[in-house]
Amino acid sequence: MQEIEINGRLYRIETVMTRNRNAYARLKGETILVSMPGHWPRKEREKTAASLVKRTVKEIARGRWTPEGSRKLEFSHGQMLSILGQEYNLVFIPSGRFGGKTRGSTIEIRVAEHPEKEKKASQMVCSQIIKAAKPEVMERVRHFNTRHFNTDIKRLTLRDNTSTWGSCSKKGNITLNIRLLFMPLEILDYVIVHELAHTRYMSHGSRFWGLVERVLPDYRERKKWLRNYGWSAVPGKRSGQQKISSFFHECPL
């Protein structure tokens, strides 16, 4: 296994073969994990893997991607969350079992004694956030889909993902990162349009970006904001969120 030192910190580089359509790199602790489609030609895999590692190392060196930021979201009692522009107060209540509910602008989480109670409590917070935000996100997806795409969206999923902002399957299933809910609505809309455009073109070719531009003429500015600030945004702070990052290469056509 290859190792590399970045800013005085040692990282392992691990490459794994998968059945996925696309190649990507992500950070797991202090391991740079490069996932490559096993069906790609060997030379294409080697070229793409080298490119992904190079870009990943560059982002780590710049401080945009850290082992600490590659973790799942964590929340705490008394935290203020801005979700789709609406403020919520987070309250943890000792209880005999885990549970949660949202009362107006307050998210209440019942926390039981457990070796991983912080992790479980944060998962409950994510569930409440998704429950509160999903109707509006669905409406925004319908808005753009009806006006510009008219495709059959089978399912929308919101998830605490540490590697991607969103994805779209061939079956029309769209997944969005819950972290987008803490960002400006313009950024959420950009990712929605990006994934809807994948219902027409799965690759990031000129036709794909031309379609995105017709819907959002300023998409380049939104894309730049997401690249520069998205992974550093933290719930409750207007500047951002957990630092995480990922790079993708589409299946060569």
CB 90 within 8 A of CB 81: yes
Q: What is the pTM of this model?
A: 0.72
CA distances from 107 to 12, 54, 100, 143, 238 (A): 39, 42, 7, 28, 19
Helix, strand, or coil (residue 228): helix
User: At CA 209, angle to CA 208 and CA 211, rounded to 5?
Assistant: 70
Domains and CATH numbers, the chain: 2-70 (no CATH), 80-236+243-249 (3.30.2010.10)
**What distance in Å separates the CA atoms of residue 234 and residue 207, rounded to the nearest whole number?**
34
pLDDT tens, residue order, the chain (253 aa): 788 998 888 999 999 998 877 788 888 778 888 989 888 899 999 999 999 999 888 888 877 666 655 567 889 899 999 999 899 999 999 999 999 999 999 999 999 988 888 889 999 999 999 999 999 999 999 999 999 999 999 999 999 887 789 998 888 899 999 999 999 999 999 999 999 999 999 888 899 999 999 999 999 999 999 887 886 665 643 333 322 233 333 433 2
Q: What are phi and psi of 32, to 5 degrees?
A: -85, 110
**What distance in Å separates the CA atoms of residue 26 and residue 199, rounded to the nearest whole number?**
25
User: At CA 41, angle to CA 35 and CA 42, rounded to 5?
Assistant: 70
CB 243 within 8 A of CB 231: yes
